[in-house]
Amino acid sequence: MGPESPFTPYLATLKTATQLTPDIKLLSVELEDPDIKAGFDYKPGQFALLSAFGEGEAPFGIVSLPLQKDGLEFAVRRIGTVTRALQELEPGDTLGVRGPFGNYFPLEDYVGKNMIVIGGGIGMAPLRPVINSILEQRDDYKELLIINGARTPQDLVFQPEFPTWMEAPGTKLELTVDRGDEEWKGRVALVPDVVKELAPSPGNAIAIVCGPPIMIRFTLARLRDLGYKDNQIVTTLEAKMKCGLGKCARCNIGEKYVCQDGPVFNLEQISQFLEQP
């Protein structure tokens, strides 16, 4: 039995909670109703609204791979009451899930392309299923360049997956931090500067960029300097969301609703709404 209204969340159980960075936890969540679980079809880029009962609801990208139904995964960063309550849940506790919502990265359109995947901080969350989907179908794509930036080395998300990403054929992982520490031997630079330095060719390429607004703004500018056209640059937008159903008008950007028409847009669709650096 599904919920009576689209505003009623499905009940789910927290299976595991793994600390990824000092303020981000990876929650693995299992829908309780077996029929709902079996029918929960999603694609990389889609999101769900998670509720901590008594505290409220917030949107999160689904970071697991679509075939993963036993444990839907969400990267939750502690930024307010709902995220704090979700992070405080223990395995076995109940939470609510509404979704999946929104559009997705059209990976099938990118077959045969060089892929440049650029993420800053928690912006890596929606990119994780993109990267892992590409690696699952590695022969379908050409070179894969991943640029992953964070404030400090401890803030780099998905570190347990770095060895797999680094060793995959035709794949490069470039890590960068804004501020290093005594142990950090890697790059200390802002993501847009790394893009400028590495200068990935725009030829037959698609760049997917997710992160804080300022990082997105400057990274898009660097990509344009390199010759990327707006239809070669894809990003996700964050917005305040309530219904997730295109009904409450909380999440609009121009005439589009981020919850329905997005969160994935190419730059051609949204450049008029982005501030230029």
Contact residues: ligand FES, CB under 6 A: 241-244, 246-251, 257, 259
151 vs 250, beta carbon nearer ligand FES: 250
According to DSSP, the residues that pair with 96 across neighbouring strands are 11, 51
Nearer to ligand FES, 7 or 184 (CB): 7
| CA–CA dist 253, 168 (Å, integer) | 38
Smallest distance from ligand FES to CB 73, Å: 22
Closest alpha carbon to 71 in 122, 13, 20, 127: 13
CA distances from 69 to 37, 154, 192, 257 (A): 6, 29, 36, 27
Indicate the residue among 125 and 243 with the shorter CB distance to ligand FES: 243
> How distant, in Å, are the alpha carbons of 19, 109, 187, 202 from that of 140?
33, 11, 30, 18
Encoded tokens for 131:
């990267």
Q: Of the two residues 115 and 258, which places its CB atom closer to ligand FES in the complex?
A: 258
